[in-house]
Amino acid sequence: RLTLDFYKDTCPQFSQIIRDTVTAKQISSPTTGPATLRLFLHDCLLPNGCDASILLSSTRLGPPAERDADINLSLPGDAFDLVVRAKTALELACPNTVSCADILSVATRDLLTMLGGPYYPVFLGRRDGRSSLASAVPRYLPTPSMPIPEILRLFTQRGFSVEEFVALSGAHTVGFSHCSQFISNVSSSSSYNPRFAQGLLKACADYHNNPTLSVFNDVMTPNKFDNVYFQNLPKGLGVLKSDHALYSDPVTRPFVQSFATDQDAFFRVFATAMQKLSLLGVQTGRKGEIRRRCDQIN
Ligand code: HEM
Ligand SMILES: [Ca+2]
Ligand SMILES: [Ca+2]
């Protein structure tokens, strides 16, 4: 029941306002693109789907919200800030009309294209959720130490094929990982290219004192959305344990290999999978609400 022209009459400036906000923010803070892509994944993969539940702040009396779950504490503030900016501009142009969930969905797509990634149409009309629980988070989001079959299950139970899962993992062609997310694996695993491993250990030497230390997920083209991430994996240039596992697992390896040689195929499957991700669990019609502020329910 979502449509492509949902705001045609109620907010004709919708697309333009988001595009302008995204462009300004991404130029001033280039980490925004990858940050928002990950934020979007962490919103949509939970059972409440793409409902902007990830944007809600914890309240003083209630239990902690999703964004305060351990795994979400590393989500960069730039991504939240981007949605706030777009929401502020949209509330001025068309008050009480545009959901935070639609803003996040379209902003993610626009950022992806700015980074060089594929375009896909975003269906609109999502309503914002009214609940967000940190305690629900760990069961639905992948971590680098999970075995591939377990990670795969998180995605197949949400309707993705193995190929779509591998394509989505190609999002690690941009962005960062903090040292704490991979450093123990660098010393214990032989799957890293030795010189790359030395580089990672050196970059992370002081991470106990400085937990903000991080490295690019794609050492070759860190800021460009391309298929180089997949070319890195067979060379031992993956960063996270799960990146390496994507190549060593026989179920996912064939897709890594085909995406490494065929960027068009990667882009095609990635675009389809992102569109699918953007439709997970969406509420429409009279369910949910149009939040006035993206960080709190009305
Ligand atoms: C295969 C399962 C996955 C695991 C285990 C995983 C895990 C992680 C971890 C640990 C980080 C580093 C976070 C940090 O230290 O700040 C990260 C970063 C990132 N992930 Fe994933 N991820 C997975 C799949 C995905 C998917 C499917 C997407 C999107 C479609 C995605 C998008 C990103 C992006 C864009 C970043 C960079 C964030 C930034 O620079 O702020 N990841 N991921
Ligand atoms: Ca959600
Ligand atoms: Ca790249």
CATH of the domain at 216: 1.10.420.10
CA–centroid distance, 132 to ligand 2, in Å, is: 8
Q: What is the CA radius of gyration of the chain?
A: 19
Number of domains in the chain: 2
For the CA of 242, the nearest atom of ligand 1: 5
pLDDT, one tens digit per residue, over 183-216 is: 999 999 999 999 999 999 999 999 999 999 999 9
Looking at the fold, whether 102 and 210 belong to one and the same domain comes out as: no
Over range 61-71, report the average pLDDT.
96
Are 91 and 208 within one domain?
no
How far apart are the C-alpha atoms of 278 and 8, rounded to whole Å?
Answer: 20
- Reference 168, options 87, 112, 213; nearest CA is 112
Least Cα distance to 40 among 150, 149, 117 occurs for 117
Q: d(Cα 244, Cα 160) in Å, to the nearest integer?
A: 21
Annotated ligand binding at 49? The verdict is yes
Q: What residue numbers bound the domain in which 33 lies? A: 14-141
42 is catalytic: yes
**48 CA → ligand 3 middle, Å:** 30
Distance from the CA of 248 to the center of ligand 2, in angstroms?
31
Task: Answer yes or no: do 108 and 205 share one domain.
Answer: no
Q: Name the pLDDT band for 290 (thresholds 50, 70, 90).
A: very high
Ligand 1 contact via 106 beta carbon (within 6 Å): no
Strand (E) positions, the chain?
176-178, 214-216
What CATH number corresponds to the domain at position 77?
1.10.520.10
On whether both 190 and 100 belong to a single domain, the answer is no
Query: Over pLDDT 70: what percentage of the chain?
Result: 100
